[in-house]
Homo-oligomer: A and B are copies of this chain.
Amino acid sequence: MPMAYSVLLTDLYQLTMLQTYHAARMQEMAVFELFVRRLPDERGFLLAAGLEQALDYLESLHFTAAELDWLTDCGRFNPAFVAWLEAFRFAGDVDALPEGTVFFANEPILRVIAPLPQAQLVESRLINLLHYQTLIASKAARCVLAAPGKVLVDFGMRRAHGAEAALLAARANYLSGFAGTATVLAGMQFGIPVFGTMAHSLIQAYDREEEAFEQFAAAQPGNVTLLIDTYDTEAAARKLIQLAPRLQERGVMIRGVRLDSGDLAEHARQVRRILDEGGLRQVTILGSGDLDERRIAELLAVGAPFDGFGIGTRLDASTDAPTLDMVYKLQEYAGKPRRKRSEGKATWPGRKQIYRRMTDDRAFMSDGLGLEDAPQPGEPLLQPVMREGQRLVLPEPLSAIRERVQQQLAALPSTLRANRNEPPYPVEIAPELQEMAARLDRETH
């Protein structure tokens, strides 16, 4: 399993801090919360994703003999500390938003309560896992909102940032409502539907384009989607009119064509006309090539007759907002609330809960961010998912998460549903949180 990375996939300071906690016998319970400090200007909401992989990570956390040897040899760690790491496991409690839940700035999407060293060590990888899938699920949701009723496919593997990003992007896109992915391994690993067409290189490898179409189609069982922009898009569409009956005799259907370059809207209109006049009304048109939610909205706004889109680079690298300001902060230690006060980076202390208020017809109204032990009106969103290092529930089927996303997207305020990011959704900070923060600021020095 590619997700099973070493416990040493962490920042060195986690280990030097653990060495301190070990030496100072600081093993009391710590409460950390993971949240996004501020939404990027390009986003009006985010979708929580990646919890499944985060829980896998916590459950399997341990040091191997080779890793302990390396720590000893690197000269930074004393023998008693390294020996103590041998039995190190994560045995804490985790509460989290179910995957596919909409959330906003300052709202915790995951809370860890564990002895301080356990809660600290996992920071780097927890952020790494939850940050990326949340980033991509949120971007994908914007694509889904921009293209109602269209078939969306993840084409992003090649320019995703490495292998794990490619796989997890396929998962995150699928959760948000994509029909599937071109990444084969994501199909095998997560059971996500896989889609594919053909590349320009196949067309180029043949001397004649129609020969490439025919041999490709003949070699695939069932249906095919053909790429028709290698030389002259409209000329290629006309070739299909001749080819379709011959293929049909051999039991092969042309299901779709893909357009990947030039003025996509204009080509789509021309190709639609050619196909319709040639009796190929059932053949769908798929667009691709540096697409994102903005370009798709533009194409659909001018009535370009696309049935679906392959979305790659701009999605799997979330190019307009490639990172989130996601952090994991200590909120309480040894029973006392804690607060970071660094300029511009202050946090809300204490164990918090998000209370979501809906209208009578199940639309989002406002969120309250308050303390867990001071319940407010609204649905509490953080749910228990792990106790003493053991999962409380089985992994959630992707279909259930997909359904949650669709319900949430339908319930968003209309501005957010239209991919407009202003005005910000109202998240009200409870008075008791503000009072606690002010009190800690007076006390801490």
Contact = CB atoms under 8 A, between A and B. Distances in A.
Contacts of A196: 11-13, 15-16
A159 B128 contact: yes
Contacts of A339: 204
Residue among A76, A132, A201, A341 with the highest chain B CB neighbour number at 10 A: A201
A162 B165 contact: yes
A26 interface: yes
Interface in A299-316: 313-314
A314 B322 CA distance: 9
Contacts of A340: 200, 204, 230
A295 interface: no
Given A162-B132, A168-B162, A198 B9 contact: no
A167 interface: yes
Interface stretch (A183-191, A354-362, A384-392, A417-425): A183-191
A224 to B, nearest CB: 8
A352 to B, nearest CB: 16
A10 to B, nearest CB: 6
A209 interface: yes
Count copies of this chain in the complex: 2
B182 A128 contact: no
Contact of A132 (B116, B161, B219, B221): B161
Contacts of A219: 16, 19-20, 22-24
A409 to B, nearest CB: 24
A163 to B, nearest CB: 5
A281 to B, nearest CB: 25
Given A12-B184, A23-B219, A162 B201 contact: no
Given A17-B216, A76-B221, A128 B322 contact: no
B260 A9 contact: no
Interface string A54-95: 000000000000010010001111100000000000000000
B342 A261 contact: yes
B162 A262 contact: no
A333 interface: yes
A221 to B, nearest CB: 7
B9 A157 contact: yes
Residue among A12, A215, A314 with the highest chain B CB neighbour number at 10 A: A12
Contact of A2 (B5, B127, B329, B334): B5
A140 to B, nearest CB: 14
Interface string A324-343: 10100110011000111111
Given A8-B188, A11-B183, A12-B182, 8 more contacts: A20-B220, A67-B188, A78-B221, A127-B159, A132-B161, A162-B167, A230-B341, A317-B323
Interface of A: 2-3, 5-6, 8-17, 19-24, 26, 30, 32, 67, 70, 74-78, 116, 120, 123-125, 127-129, 131-132, 135, 155, 157-168, 182-185, 187-188, 194-202, 204-205, 208-209, 215-216, 218-222, 224, 229-231, 260-263, 313-314, 317-319, 322-324, 326, 329-330, 333-334, 338-345, 444-445
